Each structure stands twice: as C-alpha cells, then as structure tokens.
Structure 1
C-alpha cells in the first residue's frame, strides 16, 4: 500500500516585499541628516573660536619636536648624579629670600641635635 504523495503546488520564487520599507529608510536618513546638521550648528555655537585659526599670520611659531632618548640608562645616571649633587652640596634655592640648601647629612644631624620648633619631643604628648 504505497501511496504516492504529490508535492503541493508551490508559487514561483520572488523577493520578499515586506522586509523593508523605502519610506522608513528615507525617513531614517532625513532624521540622521537633521541630527548631524544640528550637532554641527551646536558645535559652532559652543566653540566659536574656530575663527581664531584664520587670524594667525605666517610665520607660524616653531614647535620643538619630541626628543627621543637614545640612551635611557645614561640619561637616568646623569639625572641621578644631578640629584645627588643637590642633596649633598650647598647652594641657593631662592637667593632673593635668602633660602638655600645644605647637604642632607648635615641637615639631618642638625635637626636631630636641635629639633624642630613646635614638634613634640620623645615622651611628650601633643595638645
């Protein structure tokens, strides 16, 4: 008892017309265009200094190019040497006000010997 089933009648293939609406695409494009245009106008109102660019006259100021370190270890050693010379030497910090610096070891000995005005001493409680 084998029955033969005939395939149902199928319509010829065609594109789906309900996927997208041309009206929606056009309306979306108009909305995006109006939004971008509005943002451009808003940016122009918020940042009016764009006209300053037109006021600059040549020759334009020369901006130094970034200096690359060719030898970072040597640069760090030179920096360390300058810092140690400052820490271990005498010099003026602000000559106009009579402020200078002394070697760090000497300063620590002097502070240990004389103390700091208003600083609590061992065994003394604060206010």
Structure 2
C-alpha cells in the first residue's frame, strides 16, 4: 500500500459512460411524438389553414379596375360613333358580302317593298 503525502490530491477519475443510447432514443422519440401530436391538434383546430396558405395566396388576385376618367365624354363619343354607323353606308363583312345602309333609307325601302314572307294584313277585318 502506498502512503499518501499530506496535501496530495487523489488520482483523477472519470465516468466510463456519460449517457445511454437508449435514453437518447427514448427522449428523441418522446419529442417527436409530442411535436406530431401538436401538429395533429393544430390541424383539428384550424383545418386546412396552413395548407391553403401554401397552395394559394391569402387573397384572390383581382385585376385592377379600368376606371373611366370622363364617363360622360366616353358615352357621348360612343353614341356619336353608333349614330355615324346608323346614318352611313359601308361594308359590315366584305368577305361574306354583308353591308349596311343608312337607317332612314332602310326603313323607307321596307315601307315601299315590304318584307318577303311577312303577312300583309290584307283580308283581315277590323
């Protein structure tokens, strides 16, 4: 047996095993189950909220409205254009042979010639 000198320190010692592999795996499994359980609970409380945000933007994408700067002037220009078409002659579809004539002339032609196959009203007693 060796003698210890007064004031001498005992020889250093250390643990041979710090932590067991089973404890690490059990802790990891417990944390994983807890996180998974919280995800399931959150999904039950807020169904499809997180998935919806991932798949589409939080608000519908709507095109900006094309506003009229002067609606009265736009309407006046539209009415003038339509009036010009009604009072002029020209091609509507040249390839198919469709044209138009002034409305006053068209009404006079109908009054003079009638509409083919349209009942004339003759022989009807009042």
TM-score (norm 2): 0.48
Larger radius of gyration: 2
Give me the TM-score of the superposition, normalised by structure 1. Answer: 0.48
